Amino acid sequence: MSQFTLNLLVVGASFALYIGIAIWARAGTTSDFYAASRGVNPIVNGAATAADWMSAASFISMAGLIAFVGYGNSTFLMGWTGGYVLLALLLAPYLRKFGRFTVPEFIGDRFYSQSARVVAVVCLLVCSITYVIGQMTGAGVAFSRFLEVQNETGLFIAAAVVFIYAVLGGMKGITYTQLAQYCVLITAYTIPAVFISLQLTNNPIPGLGLFSTHAESGMPLLTKLNEVLIELGFQDYTGHHGSTVNMVLFTLSLMIGTAGLPHVIIRFFTVPKVADARKSAGWALVFIALLYLTAPAVGAMARLNIITTIFPDGTSAEPIRYDERPDWMESWEQTGLLAFEDKNDDGRIQYYNDNSEEFASVAAERGWEGNEMVTFNRDILVLANPEIAQLPPWVLALIAAGGLAAALSTAAGLLLAISSAISHDMLKSVLTPNITDKQELLAARVSMAFAIALATYLGLNPPGFAAQVVALAFGLAAATLFPALMMGIFSKKMNTYGAVAGMLAGLIATLLYIFTYLGWFFIPETNMLANTPDNWLLGISPLSFGAIGAMINFLVAYLVMKVTAEPPEHIQELVESIRVPRGAGAAVDH
Amino acid sequence: MSDDKSAAAYWTANIRIIKICLAIWALVSFGFAILLRPLLQMLPITIGGTDLGFWFAQQGSILTFIALIFYYTWYMNRVDREFGVDEQ
């Protein structure tokens, strides 16, 4: 059986499973559609949250992201997991007790104001729409790579599958497909990682392998990696090379942003009790950690593997001849993700850091005229793993299904957040409050279809700033939604003026700071200052600004609250009631 | 009035444990993994050929986060029952 047929079979089987689940878990009421009728087991919700949270980027790019920088990019590992502590301690239990369906609904009701609700809807739409573009393009790319279809065709297939289970099942359908998608993606990620870890360190658990002995050299794996990297002019893997301030602020921004992302928060509305919301956040992090503890190991091991493949007799000996390179390199060259150029015409592959001035003399002495591995896409580290580890073809097919599962599960969660903000917060709460439950369910389905169409359109015509938008989504979630939600719970006296002023201040400050360096609305050449560390205010990168935006939000909200009227008595009582778990069951039907 | 008092005491107990957990959360991530890493490097402890700070940055902080959430859940379930505000 050819690799293509195998990919088609495995991916097709996974899709059949998702659609089967969708038919089984049809939504009959708005409570089904928005919150799976709050009947989801907390451990199941944990797995669904993990799939909801881990996107195509986590699955495909994370290992490479860490592998090419080393210690400095640990920020992603800590930032994307540390947010769950904030969620579990500061938001999830109280929002579950509040017992409504959407994030803007809490902000609108708690701050007794339609304008607060609308500002929250705007923030939610900006965060979630920017985020969903990346998922749709990711799904398109995954399809085209593994199933040999055009990018566009791949995107349409992905949209059609999501359409079936999201429109039919809403949150209920999405929850159980996300559970299945989690199983697919974690299996696909773990199998090749285990084999690579075994080959390099004789340890079957990649996370432990990272800190054990490199079997071939007898040295600790990380010492060996540092050694070969330095010998080729690269920075050492475990060293601290970037700015400390940015490392702290970037980690904090990712943490706060994670806790403020609406598509993650709404998952905690689906569990039966407040205690379940706390527990579920813990399980979500356990399921996420299974991948996040493996990813840095995959990254480091793959980087070492590639260097030792190119320099089989050690970095001081000659590298391999181009025509003797392994088959997997040959096959990935065809995708354009890997490319070589024989700059010094010696028929061998010289891979080293040609940007290092210190190393230039060594390179010149050895007759090297530039790094000859001219393209080395970081996604290869995960995608080519099965071939590097010489695993059977079905493992590669599993990786295809895993990458698609990661993209589809996140897209579906985002689309639900978008459509419920439209049907529940805009239509039911603001524009047409008199519609019946049945009409609202229909409106929710139509909004979902509309959101999928929009996401597909944006996926086909990405606005050219796909890389920056994720930073924007996190920055905005951190600077707008998280502080508003937290103050709504922890400050009884926080009023509508403070909350709205805080959200707007956080929103505007963050947008201004990002646009100043990355261009107005990300249009190239419209940035007012070059995006270099010398120009940054106090050396703060635009990517790290979310944490500062959040502080501005808290500060402005506090100052405005001090000079304006207290919230009414019934709102203060509402805050009292969400602080205690008892009575969460009664809040189910409102 | 006694109801109000116990509600206030419940909330104080909750805030106290949240502060403790968040202090540990910040200590392992911003502290051990980044700002205090040079201090940890002075200890004679190595793990897999590198220092404790690197381990905290790549694994230790994540494992601590998991432990924190489950500890908070367990602790608050107990506090909920103590104050009679748990869900029946």
For residues A530-559, give the mean pLDDT: 87
Q: Which residues of A touch B22 (CB under 8 A)?
A: 85, 89
Residue A150 has pLDDT above 80, yes or no: no
CB-nearest partner of A285 from B18, B66, B77: B66
Is B76–A275 a contact, with Cβ atoms under 8 angstroms apart?
yes
* Residue A463 banded pLDDT, cuts 50, 70, 90: low
Q: Which residues of A touch B57 (CB under 8 A)?
A: 71, 74, 77-78
Domain ranges of chain B: 18-81
The type of residue at A252 is: L
Average model confidence (pLDDT) across chain B: 91
Percentage of chain A lying above the pLDDT 70 cut: 97
pLDDT at A589: 44
* Residue A467 banded pLDDT, cuts 50, 70, 90: low
Percentage of chain B lying above the pLDDT 70 cut: 94
Q: In the beta sheet, which residues pair with residue A339?
A: A375
Helix, coil or strand: residue A321: strand
pLDDT at B1: 40
For the entire predicted model, the pTM comes to 0.93
Judged on CB neighbours under 10 Å (0-12, 13-18, 19+), A384 is: buried
What count of other Cβ atoms lies within 10 Å of the Cβ of residue A153? 14
Interatomic CA distance for residues A271 and A171, integer angstroms: 12
Is B37–A240 a contact, with Cβ atoms under 8 angstroms apart?
yes
* Residue A496 banded pLDDT, cuts 50, 70, 90: very high
Is B7–A579 a contact, with Cβ atoms under 8 angstroms apart?
yes
pLDDT digits (tens, 9 = 90+) for A71-124: 999 999 999 999 999 999 999 999 999 988 899 999 999 999 999 999 999 989
Residue A339 DSSP label: E
pLDDT digits (tens, 9 = 90+) for A220-252: 999 999 999 999 989 999 989 888 999 999 999
Least confident of A173-177, A550-554, B61-65: A173-177
For residues A423-451, give the mean pLDDT: 86
Residue A481 has pLDDT above 80, yes or no: yes
Residues 6+ apart with CB under 8 A from A53: A80, A258, A264, A284, A288, A410
Higher local confidence (pLDDT), A507 or A149: A507
* Residue A332 banded pLDDT, cuts 50, 70, 90: confident
Which of B66, B68, B69, B88 best tests the A interface by mutation, with the highest count of A CBs <10 A?
A: B69
Interatomic CA distance for residues B82 and A114, integer angstroms: 38
Average model confidence (pLDDT) across chain A: 88
Q: How many CB pairs under 8 A join A and B?
A: 138
Q: What is the ipTM of this complex?
A: 0.95
pLDDT at A47: 95
CB-nearest partner of B61 from A82, A278, A584: A82
Residues 6+ apart with CB under 8 A from A253: A79, A474, A475, A478, A543, A544, A545, A546, A547, A550
CA distance to partner chain B, nearest, from residue A284 (Å): 9
Is B87–A583 a contact, with Cβ atoms under 8 angstroms apart?
yes
DSSP for A74-137, written as a single string = HHHHHHHHHHHHHIIIIIHHHHHHHT-S-HHHHHHHHTT-HHHHHHHHHHHHHHHHHHHHHHHH
pLDDT at A582: 86
CB-nearest partner of B33 from A78, A90, A210: A78
Percentage of chain A lying above the pLDDT 90 cut: 43
* Residue B4 banded pLDDT, cuts 50, 70, 90: low
* Residue A61 banded pLDDT, cuts 50, 70, 90: confident
Residues 6+ apart with CB under 8 A from B4: none
Interatomic CA distance for residues A296 and A141, integer angstroms: 23
Residue A157 has pLDDT above 90, yes or no: no
Residue A588 has pLDDT above 60, yes or no: no
Is A251–B58 a contact, with Cβ atoms under 8 angstroms apart?
no
Residue B2 has pLDDT above 60, yes or no: no
pLDDT at A328: 84
pLDDT at A464: 55
CA A197 and chain centroid, separation: 25
For residues A37-56, give the mean pLDDT: 92
For residues A531-543, give the mean pLDDT: 79
* Residue A469 banded pLDDT, cuts 50, 70, 90: low
Q: Which residues of A touch B29 (CB under 8 A)?
A: 78, 82, 251, 255
Which of A278, A293, A490, A579 best tests the B interface by mutation, with the highest count of B CBs <10 A?
A: A278
Judged on CB neighbours under 10 Å (0-12, 13-18, 19+), A436 is: exposed
Domains present along chain A, CATH in parentheses: 3-300+390-587 (1.20.1730.10), 313-388 (no CATH)
pLDDT at A207: 92
